[in-house]
Amino acid sequence: MNIALTGSASKIAELRAKLNATCNIKEFQFGQDIPNADLLVDLDFDNHPDRIMAYAHLNMPLLLSAVKVELISVLAHFGIEKKDVFGLNALPGFINRELSECSAAYDAEKAAFTAKLDAIGLKPEWVQDRVGMVSPRILFMIINEAYYTVQEGTAGKADIDTGMKLGTAYPHGPFEWVDMIGIQEVFEVLDALYLDTRDERYKICSLLKKEAAAARITAH
């Protein structure tokens, strides 16, 4: 299968490690001509949902990073009627996993697209088309609570990581996950979740906000 692929270098590398070796991957930078392909994958889409305007006319299905956005709302906002639009949990560390967390703008399209995903080496775990999908909602809520625990002086980061791994058998502690995913990604997903749900569980801890702001300054 020919795949037109765009995204950050690290995410592309993680996806390449997951895809079937028979896939013919055609990388492109957004703004360049989009290669002819059987599938377009954009691993940075939920940072740039306006890209849907450039993809709307394409005669190929779209697999788009969709943790910070709800696909059907993006389509409605831009007045796009394209049906074969699907979401992927493309957060760092979540791409090359046994199961791929996927969503669909239109549920009726899932069955046909599942065969395409299987053919390229992705085994979909279908979840609702909602901001945060499922695993980021749970994990990032835990991360946010862990930051509150540090902020209150109850425990340090290393102790919390150790306690979570020993007490819950999680493969990583919450702050180890932050290091893997990136503090900015964590901040942006929590912000999107809070805007979508107004649930206090996703109201970002001020310590997390401070660390995310410091990371942005360092990045520039």
Cβ–Cβ < 8 Å for 60, 40: yes
| Domains identified in the chain and CATH numbers | 2-126 (3.40.50.720), 135-219 (1.10.1040.50)
Residue-wise pLDDT for 84-125, tens only, equals 999 999 999 999 999 999 999 999 999 999 999 999 999 999
Residue spans of alpha helices (H) in the chain: 9-18, 52-55, 71-78, 110-120, 135-151, 157-168, 174-181, 183-197, 206-219
pLDDT in the model for residue 23: 92
**pLDDT, tens digit only, all 220 positions of the chain:** 999 999 999 999 999 999 988 899 999 999 889 999 999 999 999 999 999 999 999 999 999 999 999 999 999 999 999 999 999 999 999 999 999 999 999 999 999 999 999 999 999 999 999 999 999 999 999 999 999 999 999 999 999 999 988 888 888 999 999 999 999 999 999 999 999 999 999 999 999 999 999 999 987 6
CA separation for the pair 134, 206 (Å, rounded): 24
pLDDT in the model for residue 220: 67
For the chain, what is the mean pLDDT? 95
pLDDT in the model for residue 218: 86
CA separation for the pair 214, 104 (Å, rounded): 35
Q: Phi and psi at residue 199, in whole multiples of 5°? A: -85, 130
